[in-house]
Amino acid sequence: MEELSKIDREIRELLENKLPSLSERIDKENMVPGSFIETLRDYEVFDPKSLGELMEMVRIASRSSPAVAHLILINGTAKLLLNKKLRLRRKIVAVSITEAGGGSDIKANLSTRADIVNGKFLLKGTKFFTSNALYADYFLVLAITGKGPTLFLLEKSKNIKIEVMELTAMRGAGISVVHYNDAVTESVIGEEGKGLKYALMAINTGRLGYSVIGLGIAEGLLSETVKYAKEKVVFGKPLIGLQGPRWMIAELYSKIDVLRAYIKDILANEKNVDPLKASIAKVLGARLSQEASWISIQLQGGRGLAKGSLYERLSRDSRALDIGEGAREVLLDFIGYRTSKIL
């Protein structure tokens, strides 16, 4: 299938051919094996050179392991934000914003505090759904100071405690509850009191990335489904020779092609990802991956429901795309509001 952007041949090979053999284990154990994390570091997967490169890695990984794609994406969104000032080569960064009260209304639910003690900030509070936390060397954390919500960078330390969450989706993405127990930092990202603005920059890239995960899931499911539909014979014909299945596949292929073109168009202006387009792409990507999961399971018949199969894993993961990086309803509200201003 057509690429979103050029990437290193060895990285493509790693994500396309080696990752699929690990993806079931990653999902089962809710963890990426340490040796594979090191391989990803060695291949510079955690040091994207451009947004296009990041999104292409995410697309390929999503075909077999959306969780690994998620890990690459969240680190990448943070690195692209930080790299203007900091170089954290080989390091993995987690993004820690959501709290117990919920992630949609970030500001109202923000209770993690950062108080100045001896010229340094001490962070105290608990975050939920911090992706990458299990593997992270650094944490980007939103906390309140006297000047308002502020984004901080913290290095892993004994004052940061992690409890990995047992979710049904994105298993292995290291999504965790993280306790900051007087965790120390001097590193403010951007301006103190303007943290929401910087957090939203990373979230905006993340929204585009979620649409790419949706695209990758749909591509992965489509290619498996076409393979199956060519081999499976019903009523004396291959499944693909029947009009019903052929139309389902045709519709899926067409929508994938259109979404890929839309994402490529957004990526043409890498330095300035349009929040409206990123939101539209996210809503469409989530919907497309869920449709792909329905079609692929349907055409497999009963065996499409086998536990632990690629279809089952990708279906579960596709569901998360309507929640992470902004719930579907919040994005539709934003799209509707912007539409009312444009038209």
Ligand X SMILES: Cc1cc2nc3c(=O)[nH]c(=O)nc-3n(C[C@H](O)[C@H](O)[C@H](O)COP(=O)(O)OP(=O)(O)OC[C@H]3O[C@@H](n4cnc5c(N)ncnc54)[C@H](O)[C@@H]3O)c2cc1C
Nearer to ligand X, 98 or 293 (CB): 98
- Residue 177: phi and psi, rounded to 5, are -85, 130
205 binds ligand X (CB under 6 A): no
| Separation of alpha carbons 188 and 96, rounded Å | 14
Number of residues engaging ligand X in binding (CB under 6 A) = 22
Cβ distance to ligand X smaller for residue 60 or 178: 178
**326 scored as a contact of ligand X (CB under 6 A):** yes
All residues at 6 or more sequence positions from 64 whose CB lies less than 8 Å from its CB, including other chains: 19, 20, 23, 220, 310
> Which has the closest alpha carbon to 252: 288, 211, 213?
288
Q: Is 74 in the site for ligand X (CB under 6 A)?
A: yes
Cα–Cα distance between 214 and 190 in angstroms, integer? Answer: 31
Which of residues 131 and 300 has its CB atom nearest to ligand X in the complex? 131
Q: Does 183 bind ligand X (CB under 6 A)?
A: no
Q: Is 131 among the residues that bind ligand X (CB under 6 A)?
A: yes
Kindly state whether residue 329 participates in binding ligand X, applying the rule CB under 6 A: yes
Stretch binding ligand X (CB under 6 A), from 264-272, 280-288, 316-324, 335-343: 316-324
- Closest CB 334 distance from ligand X, rounded Å: 9
Contact 290, 320 (CB under 8 A): no
Distance of alpha carbon 274 from alpha carbon 205, whole angstroms? 9
- Tell me the DSSP string of 236-270: TEEGGGSHHHHHHHHHHHHHHHHHHHHHHHHHTTT
Selected binder of ligand X within 323, 334, 335, 338 (CB under 6 A)? 323
Least distance in angstroms from the C-beta of 248 to ligand X: 27
Q: Which of residues 88-107 bind ligand X (CB under 6 A)?
A: 95-98, 102-104
The Cα–Cα gap between 134 and 127 comes to 13
Shortest Å, Cβ 322 to ligand X? 8
Question: What are the structure tokens assigned to 331, written together?
Answer: 């994005």
Q: Smaller CB distance to ligand X: residue 45 or 69?
A: 69
CB nearer to ligand X: give 102 or 301: 102
Q: Choose, by CB under 6 A, the member of 57, 123, 175, 196 that binds ligand X.
A: 175
- Nearer residue to ligand X within complex by CB, 224 or 322: 322
Q: Which residues lie below 8 Å from residue 306, measured CB to CB, with a gap of 6+?
A: 312
When the beta carbons of 170 and 252 are compared against ligand X, the nearer one is 170
CA–CA gap between residue 153 and residue 82 (Å, rounded): 9
Per CB under 6 A, does 126 bind ligand X? no
Rounded to whole angstroms, the Cα distance separating 59 from 220 reads 10
Interface residues toward ligand X, by CB under 6 A:
74, 95-98, 102-104, 129-131, 169-170, 175, 320, 323-324, 326-327, 329-330, 333
